[in-house]
Structure 1
Amino acid sequence: MPEPSSKEITLAIRIDTARHAQLTWIAELRGSSLKAECFKAVDAHIEAAKNDPDLMARANAARAAIEEEARARQAAIDNLFTETSPPPPTQDESDGAEEEAITEEGGRRPRQRRGQKPAEGTPDS
């Protein structure tokens, strides 16, 4: 078991009176403290978890996901300084996306930019 760190975290749990009484008696009969008995229980639970095949499989999957994310992030950093970005769209390409809009009759009409007056002969004029 790894050595406990010098920094401790306070963990408060609610426990029913029956369990508290049993745990208190166990501690008293062993000549131990309630805190020591809780630590023994937590340590036993951790040891049991280390031998749980399902938990080990989940840990391996999590490790693989972390490693894959790390590789993707490293590649992004590498590409930041080596690959060139695609050029921004030209004015013609960006206008093409706004070229047409559906009219109330279901036909198509050229779409206008904000602040522009509609062309002559369009339903909006």
Structure 2
Amino acid sequence: MPEPSNREITLAIRIDPARHTQLTWIADLRGRSLKAECFDAVDAWIEAAKNDPDLMARANAARAAIEEEARTRQAAIDNLFTATPPPPPDDDETDDLALVPEESRTDDAAASEATEGDQPQSSRRGRGRRGQQAEGGSADS
């Protein structure tokens, strides 16, 4: 919700002619401006809302959610500079194999790594190809 300020905000509303006539007559009979009548109506509506138990329950729930989010953010900022991040999970065996010297690996582990590394490279282009194409270029340009 925006914070109140000292400046006024212009609020333009469309109102049907019958209501406008009624508000104008009420203001005239009371010897007040239409603006003053509208302010009084808005103030009365706000006061009624303050006494609405359903609306108050919603406001309290919103306040609790805001406070919980603030606590979560504060904890995240506090942990940003003080807590040590946990180590990465050890889910992938292939990462572990890269750390073990090849001589000490079992035949199965070395074979599986060799099979993974021997994938055909036909789908990948070499670095020189793009440069060769650029150098060779078409004679039409």
Give the structure-1-normalised TM-score. Answer: 0.68
Deviation at 1:95, TM superposition (A): 5.2
Matched, 1:50 2:53: no
Highest Rg: 1 or 2?
2
Matches of 1:7 and 1:94, distance apart in 2: 65
Deviation at 1:112, TM superposition (A): 6.5
Matched, 1:76 2:79: no
Correspondences of 1:1-125 after superposition (within 5 Å): 5-88=5-88, 93=92, 117=120
Tell me the amino acid that sits aligned with residue 87 of structure 1. Answer: P
Query: Between the two proteins, what is the percent identity of the paired residues?
Result: 79
Deviation at 1:83, TM superposition (A): 1.1
Matches of 1:6 and 1:64, distance apart in 2: 28
Residue aligned with 1:46, SS: helix
Q: 1:112 to 1:44 in 2, by over 3 A?
A: farther
Give the corresponding residue for 1:104: none
Give the corresponding residue for 2:135: none
Matches of 2:35 and 2:58, distance apart in 1: 31
Give the structure-2-normalised TM-score. Answer: 0.61
Give the corresponding residue for 2:127: none
- Per residue, is there more strand in 1 or in 2? 1
Aligned residues: CA RMSD: 2.8
Matches of 1:51 and 1:77, distance apart in 2: 38
Matches of 1:13 and 1:112, distance apart in 2: 70
Any stretches of 5+ residues in structure 1 without a counterpart?
A: 97-110, 119-125
Q: How many residues align?
A: 99
Residue aligned with 1:32, SS: coil
Matches of 1:21 and 1:71, distance apart in 2: 52
- Per residue, is there more helix in 1 or in 2? 2
Any stretches of 5+ residues in structure 2 without a counterpart?
A: 96-114, 122-141
Deviation at 1:86, TM superposition (A): 2.6
Residue aligned with 1:38, SS: helix
Tell me the amino acid that sits aligned with residue 51 of structure 1. Answer: N
